[in-house]
Structure 1
Amino acid sequence: MTYTILVFLSRKPGTTPEQFRNYYAGSHMPWFRELVGSHFPLHHIQRYIHRTETSANDGTTQRNPSTPANVYFGSQAEFDYDVVVTLEYKDHAAFQAGIEFIQQPDIAAKIAADEERFLDRSQTRAVALGEIIEMTAP
């Protein structure tokens, strides 16, 4: 059975959503995939929060005053992250091996240095998923 992690990432202050997306998807992830090699997950899916550029600041969020999310339920402040990443590993052992690899001091330092270019690391959140049930249209 696969092992799935959700990661919530937020861009560094002063970085636009487009700059964040371009660097994360276009530079960081290809570099990261090469760095970790066989420890890369089976699937790495990036789902970006849809944001609208505006000159108005309604004060509902400090992180995204001019780029609010298109929120249907909840508040702007609850959607201050920029991307939800789904990481799917072969199993828990594969995930654990990957974590141990990236926590090696030299590897961790390389990753941190690159993430400082675009990511607010203090806002990163991750959680393991339990059972996944998928339904499709009839």
Structure 2
Amino acid sequence: MEMIRHPDHGCVEHAPRRHIHQPAGTSSGGRRLMRAARVASANMGCSQMTADQLEIDTRSVFDNIDARQVEFEAEVDGDDYQFAVQYSVLEALTGEAPDGDAEIKFNQMIDAVKDASLAALSRDSDREIIVVSENDLDQ
């Protein structure tokens, strides 16, 4: 994993990754910890780094009507993850059950979805798809 310096404040960041899936037989959790440690040590004293930033790839947002969830890909601290937000989360946030408008509700509540997604990631980072449930709203 290549690390690059941010041009504005000099903090070390990861170069963008192109693939979500890890090669077979490798420990993605172990690599994430090693990358995080390298970036943390390179950024000692840098006040611009924010822990656990989640950036949603808006092109990946997909309303999976059959599974009653909105799926998306996001990057957190340089690593790519796949998420699924249950319709019940969107209903809890907006007060209305999604009815053909789940992506709209998702986008309206994007900040709350990001927070809940980070909570889901912190409890279940080793899953292929991280499911965001109503329990993650309380975190």
User: Same-fold call, TM > 0.5?
Assistant: no
TM-score tier by shorter-chain length is under 0.3
Q: Which has the higher contact order (CA 8 A, sep 6+)?
A: 1
TM-score by length of 2: 0.25
TM-score by length of 1: 0.25
Question: Which has the larger share of strand?
Answer: 2
